[in-house]
Amino acid sequence: MKKEDEFFKDPKLKKAQEIILNRIKRSLVPEDYNHAINTLKWLVKLCSFADDRMKIAALAHDIERAYKDKKIKRENYSDFNEFKRAHAENSAKIVRSILTDLNFSKDFIDDVCELIKLHEFGGNKRADCIKDADSISFFDTNLVLYYQREGFEETKRRAIWGYKRLSDRAKMMVKTFTYQDKKLQELINSLRYIIH
Ligand SMILES: [Fe+2]
């Protein structure tokens, strides 16, 4: 990891980061590793009050996708929001086990897990910030690969869903993103007409 990517000073937190990223590296979703780091970078950029618990939550929020046999499968949910809720709960469960093994305090673990559970829909100032960082990062690091894998119609649906969950400030940022692919660029340009 490059010097500018060092987010933690405490050795135990560094160890947690190492274990989380080593697992995410094994995800079959190719954008997952960059997305984890990128979400953390956006969190630090967006939230001056980002604390270590928020940072660990941002890094590990999608970790369940790296467990081939335990991951929540989209096809088992007719409702996308229910799928996302189950995904968040499953990531929190896995992170609880990782942090327990590393002897973090119950208070620390409960807080990180609650933030992960809330990362898709927010619910308080800290969770809202992780939600924003995650959603901006989708447009920053995931969109192009998602489009290549899922096709235009699914990417459009996912982009609209992701855009709607952004704060006004984050929406302004996403509107400035540029893409080489003309269709993707048109999609991003069209998001400005979504009212809420
Ligand atoms: Fe995410």
Q: How confident is the model at residue 4, as a pLDDT?
A: 55
CA dihedral 64, 68, 74, 77 (to 10 degrees): -80
Separation between Cα atoms, residue 168 and residue 7, nearest integer Å:
27
Ligand 1 geometric centre to CA of 172 (Å): 19
Domains of the chain and CATH, by start: 11-191 (1.10.3210.10)
Ligand 1 geometric centre to CA of 138 (Å): 7
Q: Encode the chain (196 residues) as per-residue pLDDT tens digits.
A: 565 568 999 999 999 999 999 999 999 999 999 999 999 999 999 999 999 999 999 999 999 999 999 999 999 999 999 999 999 999 999 999 999 999 999 999 999 999 999 999 999 999 999 999 999 999 999 999 999 999 999 999 999 999 999 999 999 999 999 999 999 999 999 988 876 5
H or E, element range at 72: none
Separation between Cα atoms, residue 62 and residue 150, nearest integer Å:
18
Can you give the pTM of this predicted structure?
0.93
- At 51, the amino acid letter reads D
**Protein residues placing their CB within 5 Å of the ion ligand 1:** 62, 134
Which pLDDT tens digit goes with each residue over 148-172?
A: 999 999 999 999 999 999 999 999 9
Ligand 1 geometric centre to CA of 186 (Å): 23
Single out the residue of 114, 137, 108, 120 nearest to residue 45, CA to CA. 137
Evaluate whether 20 touches 63 at the Cβ level (below 8 Å). yes
Separation between Cα atoms, residue 97 and residue 177, nearest integer Å:
37
